[in-house]
Amino acid sequence: MQKTGRKDWDLVIKTSLTSLFKMCRSIKDDMLNASFSRIILISSIDDQKGQFGKTNSSAAAAEDIGFTKSLSLETVSIGNTLNVIAPDYITTEMVMAVPKKILNVSIIPQIPVRRLGQAREIARYVVLFAPNETAFITKSTITANGGQYLM
């Protein structure tokens, strides 16, 4: 919280939590009228373990999980499921913009599998949650972080 000013706090909460609310609100009627629907939120490991200097994003991610679990309870009886995937370091543009020295010295050595995750690995979880055959899975959070943090 020492590094986070009010403007940064509000921006992260608006980007993460408020956008999730607006998206779900915009599809609420369709979701309630569907025989089944899926919401699969891609969040962050920060929601579970916290992160130094990222109080705002850790809080927003944890709120996203609480929102998802509550909305699941409101809609599961009509066939809707809501689940969360919480990855850590994935080879995205943002992560690859981190200087190589920092990646190789400070980040990758902290990951027990000794590598960054791949987007296709996260996509496989989406495929897991999406079909009607896995409708028994709801209110779940899959932590995908190479063993860095275990729930």
Q: What is the pLDDT of residue 53?
A: 63
Could you give the CA distance from residue 149 to residue 87 in angstroms, rounded to a whole number?
A: 10
Q: Confirm if 78 and 135 have CB atoms less than 8 A apart.
A: no
Q: What is the pLDDT of residue 97?
A: 94
**Model confidence pLDDT, tens digit, residues 39-52:** 898 887 765 666 66
**Model confidence pLDDT, tens digit, residues 81-121:** 899 998 988 999 989 999 999 999 998 998 999 999 999 99
Determine phi and psi for 95, rounding to 5 degrees: -65, -40
Q: What is the pLDDT of residue 129?
A: 93
**Model confidence pLDDT, tens digit, residues 118-143:** 999 999 999 999 998 998 998 888 88
Residues 6+ apart with CB under 8 A from 106: none
Q: Specify burial of residue 35 (Cβ count, 10 A radius: 0-12, 13-18, 19+).
A: exposed
Dihedral (Cα; 106, 96, 121, 72), 10-degree rounding = 90
Closest residue by Cα to residue 12 from 46, 48, 39, 49:
46
Q: Indicate whether 30 pLDDT > 70.
A: yes
Q: At what angle do helices 6-13 and 55-75 cross, to 10 degrees?
A: 30
Q: What is the pLDDT of residue 116?
A: 95
Closest residue by Cα to residue 61 from 19, 29, 118, 114:
19
Using 50, 70 and 90 to split pLDDT, how confident is the model at 11? confident
Please identify which residue in the block is written with the tokens 């010295």. Answer: 105
Determine phi and psi for 27, rounding to 5 degrees: -110, 5
Q: What is the pLDDT of residue 77?
A: 82
Whole-structure pTM value: 0.83
